[in-house]
Amino acid sequence: MNTTAAYALAAVLLGGPAVMLAPFALARRSAEDHADRAAAAIREAAARRKENTR
């Protein structure tokens, strides 16, 4: 067993399922933040287009 595997095993044994699920929680948070930013950009672009047609 290499040192990385040993650290991972220790983290799982000490932290339990939270350590294993942390990457999924971080990925979900990142995806939600991206979705919020993309939606805001789309709303702004639509508002600009609407103003340009007046």
Predicted confidence (pLDDT) per residue in 12-37, tens digit: 888 887 877 888 988 999 999 999 99
Work out the number of other CB atoms within 10 angstroms of the CB of residue 37: 10
Length of the chain: 54
Q: Scanning the structure block, which residue is given the tokens 């007046």?
A: 54
Q: What is the pLDDT of residue 6?
A: 87
**Per the confidence metrics, is the pTM higher than 0.95?**
no
How far apart are alpha carbons 16 and 25 in whole angstroms? 15
